Amino acid sequence: MASFDATKKADCLSIGADWKVVGESGVEQCYHPGGAPRHFTFFFTTFVMLQVVNMFCSRKIHDEINPFTGICGNWVFLAVWFFIFGLQVLITQFTGVVFEVCPDGLTIIQWLISVGLGFTVLIVNFLIKFIPDRATPAMGRDRVFDAEEVKNGRKVEAKYADK
């Protein structure tokens, strides 16, 4: 299966874009007169949804299973989260050429797929919680992990032990 190449005229025309000289460069290239095609907008939105959902998972770093624990007590986090999500909807649906997204935005089905793909982060995060910390590379000192190792009768690695 051949991949899309934006430097080839046939590929550019196949997605509904124009092939013309853009700017003063004198070089012909792919040009989307009304903004990016919808599939580029879909990928952009899906990427942002993955990051937005990952914000919940990033709150818990010591193998806590439920990333939503205590979420209602952190109104600043929720305000920022809803602001980012709302801004993404506005950018995608209403800014068109300004942010180089599809001028028509996404359909409701595309939004549902994008948000659904974003929620796959929760599944991956849940599965990662079951990988033992000692089976992963250390990226510095972790006192919670060290205390857990001592409690379980294991020796803490010297490179991270208090000196």
Residue 162 has pLDDT above 70, yes or no: no
In angstroms, the CA 75 to CA 82 distance is: 10
31, containing H or E segment? strand 28-31
Higher pLDDT, 107 or 32: 107
Closest CA to 66 of 122, 142, 136, 147: 122
Each residue's pLDDT tens digit, 125-159: 999 888 887 777 777 777 777 787 788 888 776 55
Please give the model's pTM, rounded to 2 decimal places: 0.67
Each residue's pLDDT tens digit, 39-67: 888 999 999 999 999 998 888 877 788 88
